[in-house]
Amino acid sequence: MDRIVFAELSAWKADTRRKPLILQGARQVGKTWLLKEFGRREYDRTIYLSLDESPVARSIFDQDLDVQRIVADIATLDGHGPIDVHNTLIIFDEVQEAPRALTSLKYFNENAPQYHVASAGSLLGVASHSGTSFPVGQVNFIQVHPLTFVEFLDGIGQPGMATLLRDGDPARFAPFHDSLVTHLRSFLFVGGMPEAVTQFAANRDFAAARAVHRELLAAYDQDFSKHAPPAEVPRLRALFESAPQQLARENKRFVYRQAQHGAGASRMELAMQWLKDAGLVHQIHRVQVPRIPLTAYADQAFKLYLLDVGLVGAAVGLEARTLLEGSAAFTEYKGALTEQLVLQELIATGLNPFYWTNGSNDAEVDFVVEQHGEIVPIEAKAEVNVQAKSLRVYRDAYKPSKSLRLSLRPYRDEGWLTNLPLYAASLVPSA
């Protein structure tokens, strides 16, 4: 599986100002596999410490935080002699299980920056250790997301299709449009969680992928009980369970009191922050005045998405048949899956989406993003027969130089509006 993040990892290795690395991302998005595979590809030797499974590895950090002693103990545990600082990757996995290992990254940066140290783990778990000294300013971060559609194509044995989209020439899409739409329907069900993709790829088994989704949802629920303060657990569950339900409404704005009776922002604020820190949800705020920087014009209204489209479908019990038969695949669930798909593709490209409504709330653009010093409006449509009423309202009011519609239609440049196929959402930054 070829992941986009490998390019970022290679850049981290080559950076002369490199600091210890923390891979961020939700449980089971592939952080451990990425670090091991990166070590295999880029280094002569990889030393892997599983801090949740190995008490001996954890005990290395129970003494002082002298880096040279820690390195010597790691080499002893590994059993393959002294560590070559230029050709060895040291991995601290599940770093939340050894808070002093997390703290040690500060001392690696200050006293031994020549070592290549990378870590992965749940920041939700890190937050639960109130006495942990987080190495602010002493580490580099790389965010890991679920697989994009392009990565999904690679994962299911369609490298040619993946290369076609990576090359980014819409003029070449036409002969392959129907095949790409078929694969996109599968992606809407399977999503981008690596284990779900692996299970699906083996035998094109949708049921096996759904079983993985259910296991992941159960694991996230267990994480709430394990890591969160007891008072927050019911709120975490209420928010996480309500997100896909509220996306099904015509007005997708998230309302706290619909997640938990009588709840307001002040009561749910901490639980929401925990979910965001854990990488489990994306909170997308509204702007009514689309000016740069968008963050300065965002208000308190927001929509709430989960991290992965496959998990959204599993959470609401959508069946494979519903998604795979005919055009109904993209109209069921009122376009929520389409918005979820586009949202996670935009985030994976590094964009920071918001959404727009006018003052009377009778026009809404699904996403607006900052791009090359401009605000670009983007609509996500679940059908072939589409209209762009809200985009026209937006265009008349703000005269953007570029507007995008993502739909099942083939690529088409209409002058004021570019229609980009949904399967090419990753091309938004260059469209």
Q: Which of 143, 162, 197 is the last residue of a domain?
A: 143
Residues 137 and 247 in one domain: no
Burial class (CB in 10 A: 0-12, 13-18, 19+), 305: buried
Q: Could you give the CA distance from residue 348 to residue 267 in angstroms, rounded to a whole number?
A: 30
Q: Which of 119, 143, 167 is the last residue of a domain?
A: 143
Total tally of structural domains belonging to the chain:
2
Residues 181 and 139 in one domain: no
Closest listed residue to residue 382, CA positions, set 351, 342, 354, 431: 342
Structure tokens that stand for 330 in this block: 């993209």
| Range 182-199 average pLDDT | 96
Residue 363 lies in domain:
149-430
Residues 248 and 306 in one domain: yes
| Range 42-60 average pLDDT | 96
Give the Å distances, CA to CA, from 310 to 155, 210, 292, 329, 416.
15, 8, 33, 14, 33
Residues 119 and 158 in one domain: no
Residues 160 and 18 in one domain: no
Q: Could you give the CA distance from residue 332 to residue 345 in angstroms, rounded to a whole number?
A: 20
Q: Which of 124, 143, 162 is the last residue of a domain?
A: 143
Residues 355 and 210 in one domain: yes
Residues 120 and 160 in one domain: no
Residues 136 and 159 in one domain: no
- 330 phi/psi in degrees, rounded to 5: -105, 0
Burial class (CB in 10 A: 0-12, 13-18, 19+), 123: buried
**Is the preceding omega at residue 400 within 30 degrees of 0, hence cis?**
no
Q: How far is CA 22 from the centre of its chain?
A: 15
- Report the predicted TM-score, pTM, of the whole model to 2 decimal places: 0.92
Q: Which residues are CB-neighbours of 57 under 8 A, at least 6 positions away?
A: 49, 50, 51, 77, 98
Say which CATH number the domain at 129 has: 3.40.50.300
Q: What is the pLDDT of residues 241-282, one digit of tens each?
A: 999 999 988 888 999 999 998 888 888 999 999 999 889 999
Residues 135 and 212 in one domain: no
Q: Could you give the CA distance from residue 29 to residue 34 in angstroms, rounded to a whole number?
A: 9
Q: Is the pLDDT of residue 129 over 50?
A: no
Least confident range of 21-35, 64-78, 222-236, 392-406:
222-236
Residues 233 and 267 in one domain: yes
DSSP state of 392: H
Residues 58 and 194 in one domain: no
Residues 139 and 175 in one domain: no
Least confident range of 153-162, 299-308, 377-386:
377-386
